[in-house]
Structure 1
Amino acid sequence: MTAAASTWSAAALVSCALAGACGGGSRAPVGVSTAAPGGPSTTVARDAGAARGPEGIPSDFRTNLTKINRARFVSNGHAGGRYEVDVYANPAGKNAALSASGDIPVGARLVKEHFERVGDGVQPGPVMMMEKMERGFDPDHGDWAYVVVNSAGAQVQNGRVEACAGCHDDAPHDHVFRVSE
């Protein structure tokens, strides 16, 4: 296992394009935005001189970040209710997700762990993170970067991800949808 692979959670994330979560087969589309995408998704390639993206989802996010929802809930925005989720955040991210207004500082991180609803139970699904980056990272989408890791633990997106940004552009508070505690 590479050092990069060891930074990803085993319970990981699904990319809309690579995992078939949006429009592939009979699965419901990811998100509910009707906004037109601003261009192709970009996976950050550090050796290609692209803008710096987040380092990735910390493997210890369940212990080093705060779970901000009391009970797992159905995520209607990610795959139209296919997943139940838990949301974790660093202190700046927690304030952002629980607030209806205010500035969201650089470094705010929100991690959403998905559990696919299968029959009468659930199984591990993707893990997704959004991180507020320095001004200018992606000004058309609030300077947020996204990381998507599939349920097998493989990173499938990192950086500017139009599938994520297109929906989060519709969020009422700096591209963040409020989470009820």
Structure 2
Amino acid sequence: MGAAAETQDSVAASTAKQYRKWRKVNDVPVLSATHGNRHVVTFINGKAEGSALGGKFPFPVGAVLAKESFEDQAGKPGAKGPLFIMEKRARGYDAAHGDWHYAVVAPDGAVALSGNGKDGSPAEFCAACHSVARVNDYVFGNGTVMRVKPTPLGPK
């Protein structure tokens, strides 16, 4: 059986190439149970800063958050894992889930997942988990300087 076909998502592919130039919102990787028990570091683009750092919701269209991940090795960050991406899309894209688009980019740069929260979307799980953080426009701020209200963790 061959490798899975790469999904096309120009924003995810572009984000994977440039996110490290963006604002890093946590210096120390945080263990994230909902991202496969990986250690994560979050980066935000310029359009996301007002909401993420100032607590001004909703996020504007074009805001992108990138969560760099590392496999857990004996409680510490190990090998590079996938890059998890949230992109705020135009009103009506997926109103039930805050108009967020989700993508996952594999360590080799291939876009492995791309979609919204609608039924049958490959990103349906992402949106379901993030719906718990609706008060913060569907964004968690765990372990970062992001100014979001505390929310419970999503589905286990």
**Cα–Cα, structure 1 residues 54 and 136, in superposed 2: closer, same or farther, change >3 Å?**
farther
**Does 2:112 correspond to 1:156?**
yes
Q: Given the alignment, which residue of 72, 80, 83 partners 2:38?
A: 83
Cα contact 2:43–2:67 (8 A) shared by 1: yes
4+ residue stretches of structure 1 with deviation over 6 A?
A: none
Q: Give 1 or 2: higher helix fraction.
A: 2
Cα contact 1:113–1:128 (8 A) shared by 2: yes
Aligned to 1:62: 20
> Superposition pairs for residues 42-121 of structure 1, below 5 Å?
55-56=11-12, 57-63=15-21, 65-79=22-36, 82-100=37-55, 102-119=57-74
Structure 2: which 5+ residue stretches go unaligned?
117-122, 146-156
For residues 121 and 167 of structure 1, the distance between their equivalents in structure 2, rounded to whole angstroms, comes to 23
Question: How many residue pairs align between the two structures?
Answer: 130
The residue identity in structure 2 corresponding to 1:62 is R
Q: What RMSD over aligned residues (CA atoms) do the two structures have, in Å?
A: 2.4
TM-score normalised by length of structure 2: 0.72
Q: Identify which of structures 1 and 2 has the higher relative contact order when contacts are C-alpha pairs closer than 8 Å and 6+ apart.
A: 1
Give the CA deviation at 1:137.
Answer: 0.6
The residue identity in structure 2 corresponding to 1:112 is K
Aligned to 2:152: none
Partner of 2:60, secondary structure, is: coil
